[in-house]
Structure 1
């Protein structure tokens, strides 16, 4: 009779241990799955931000290219005048 009770207790104990391991495993799976889904959402958001930044950069380049000819014309003339001034200055220096 003692053998029947002890074997029954062992079966119940092993069943309880199995259930505890199952619950712990499910809890771990839940948190890993939750972290994975949050990571995927963050990756999607970062990709959307990257797309928007690329579009903004393209628009800025277009704006800069549209404004460049007006800005470049004035400095080129100034540079040409500076070169002429340098030639005049060289003419003033006496040669040895």
Structure 2
């Protein structure tokens, strides 16, 4: 009779342990799945933000290029040398 009671208690204990392990596994799966889905959402948001920043940079480049003042034509080195010579002569003349 003791053997029947002991074997029944072992069966119930093994079933309880199995259910506890199953419950812990389901809880862990829930939190891991939840964290994974949040991470995926954050990645999608970051990719959308990156795309918007790229568009803004392109618009800013176009805006800067359109508002850029026109460059003055380059003067030849001979003209630059003449200007420097004129400035040197002015410095040599004594003021009264």
TM-score by length of 1: 0.77
Equivalent position SS for 1:69: coil
Q: Over aligned residues, Cα RMSD in angstroms? A: 2.7
Rounded Cα–Cα distance in structure 2 between residues aligned with 1:87 and 1:45: 63
Structure 2 counterparts to residues 1-96 of structure 1, below 5 A: 1-70=1-70, 72-73=71-72, 84=83, 86-91=84-89, 92=91
Query: By how many angstroms is 1:43 displaced?
Result: 0.3
Richer in helix (by share) = 1
Distance 1:6 1:42 in 2: 54
Shift of 1:68: 1.0
Instruction: Please list every run of 5 or more consecutive structure 2 residues that lacks an aligned counterpart in the other structure.
Output: none
Q: Number of matched residues?
A: 87
